[in-house]
Amino acid sequence: MKDLKLAGLKTARSAIEVNGVTIGGKEIILMGGPCAVESSLQMSQSAETVKKAGGKILRGGVFKPRTSPYSFQGLGLEGLNYLVQAAKEQNLLCVTEVIDAPSLDLVVDKVDIIQIGARNMQNFELLKLVGKIKKPIILKRGLSATIEEWLLAAEYILAAGNPQVILCERGIRTFEPSTRNTLDLSAVGVAKELSHLPVIVDPSHAAGRRDLIASLSKAAIAAGADGLLIETHPNPAEAVSDGPQSLTPEQFVQLAEELGVVAGSVKRVFTCGGQGGTLEALRTQIDRVDQSIIELLADRMQIVRNIGDQKRLDRVKDISRQNEIIQRLVNLAADLQLPPDLVKRLYPLIFEFGVQSQIKSKLAQDKELDSSLYTFGSK
């Protein structure tokens, strides 16, 4: 794509490091909070939820570019203070949206990340302004913007001197009315193919309804997103904006508990509750991992049984295949800082139970065959 002189993919992908949080690395970064900052209590409760879920960044709009001029426009400076204070209490970073030069001036020294909303994606003067600051920018995709237009908007920021741009897919306008927008997950892959910039996904503004947020979040991670920006509110029914798409605190934490497995399946990491949680939180994590281990072993055993159906009884045990698997897993364990001896001791046991189960089912099949032949012969 022409003109992506700075945003275009070169050799390596960019990771953006901001006050100890890396966006675009192996870890999936969860950002959450209400659409609009409403009160100090609402923000401290939201920050608690985000922390509990293992989120790293608290969101909250204090300048709201609303479709109707009569809708709540945000609390401005007062709201900014609630956002910053709540993030500090929970040791989270914070992000808020700016809409023009005065709002940028007001927030720039107080927040960690600045958001440019969908409605301002092609506000070129604003893009040039945020290109002059030294803070990461989350650049939302415009309501009807093509991927090319979105990347060129990023190029404006980069060309003005700010290399720290995080792209955010938040759904685009289509003919489909059952959701607020249509989440374009292929845009994650396309943007990552064309650009080195990290890409996050906001499923909340895409769906417009909370029942779809969990599945869209998981799909976004599977599609390669580097992070998620999700709306949550202590009491969505009372929210002044975007209540129907905001998760309850319980739903937000529950979703976070389910993200680790999805992240792991695409070689990424997400830890609910963050590193160094309480003893109870860490034990909950271990229980979840143990459950996954047993479920995966059950899946493995089922495959072993299926394979058994295709083998002759005298070929059930295949030593060279076993050695090959152990060697591969010993190398993997070393890479993952797991003692290779654990693999060397565990896998012979797993193989033994697999072989036994194959032999048992072969013998049972043979017996069945014998008895049906006998029945047939004795007629």
Note the residues at the interface with Mn ion (CB under 5 A): 35, 242
Nearer to ligand PEP, 162 or 241 (CB): 241
In the bound complex, what is the minimum distance in angstroms from residue 141's beta carbon to ligand PEP? 8
Nearer to Mn ion, 95 or 263 (CB): 95
| Closest chain position to ligand PEP (CB) | 117
Nearer to ligand PEP, 84 or 183 (CB): 183
Q: What residue ranges in the chain does DSSP mark as E strands?
A: 16-18, 21-23, 29-33, 57-59, 93-98, 113-116, 137-140, 165-169, 199-201, 227-231
Residues in the chain: 379
In the bound complex, what is the minimum distance in angstroms from residue 205's beta carbon to ligand PEP? 4
SS3 state of residue 201: strand
Residues 6+ apart with CB under 8 A from 298: none
C-beta atoms surrounding 5 within 10 Å: 9
Quick one: which segment of 37-45, 115-123, 184-192, 289-297 binds ligand PEP (CB under 6 A)? 115-123
DSSP state letters, 137-164: EEEEPPTT--HHHHHHHHHHHHHTT---
Half-sphere exposure of 271 (CA within 13 A, CB side): 13
Say whether residue 210 binds ligand PEP (CB under 6 A): no
In the bound complex, what is the minimum distance in angstroms from residue 34's beta carbon to Mn ion? 8
Q: Which of 52, 56, 140, 233 binds ligand PEP (CB under 6 A)?
A: 140
Say whether residue 118 binds ligand PEP (CB under 6 A): yes
In the bound complex, what is the minimum distance in angstroms from residue 224's beta carbon to ligand PEP? 20
Nearer to ligand PEP, 56 or 170 (CB): 170
* Two structure tokens written together for 284: 């909950």
Give CA–CA dist 376/346, Å, rounded.
Answer: 45
Q: Which of 7, 18, 30, 35 binds ligand PEP (CB under 6 A)?
A: 35
CA distances from 147 to 134, 140, 172 (A): 25, 11, 10
Kindly determine how many residues on this chain lie close enough to bind ligand PEP according to the rule CB under 6 A.
9
Q: Which of 51, 180, 205, 218 binds ligand PEP (CB under 6 A)?
A: 205
Say whether residue 117 binds ligand PEP (CB under 6 A): yes
User: Pick from ligand PEP, Mn ion, none: which does 118 bind, CB < 5 to 8 A by kind?
Assistant: ligand PEP
Give CA–CA dist 11/212, Å, rounded.
Answer: 36
Cα distance between the two ends of the chain = 77
Nearer to ligand PEP, 181 or 251 (CB): 181
Quick one: which segment of 18-26, 79-87, 117-125, 301-309 binds ligand PEP (CB under 6 A)? 117-125
Give CA–CA dist 331/190, Å, rounded.
Answer: 33
Say whether residue 52 binds ligand PEP (CB under 6 A): no
Q: Which residue ranges make up the site for ligand PEP (CB under 6 A)?
A: 35, 61, 117-119, 140, 170, 202, 205
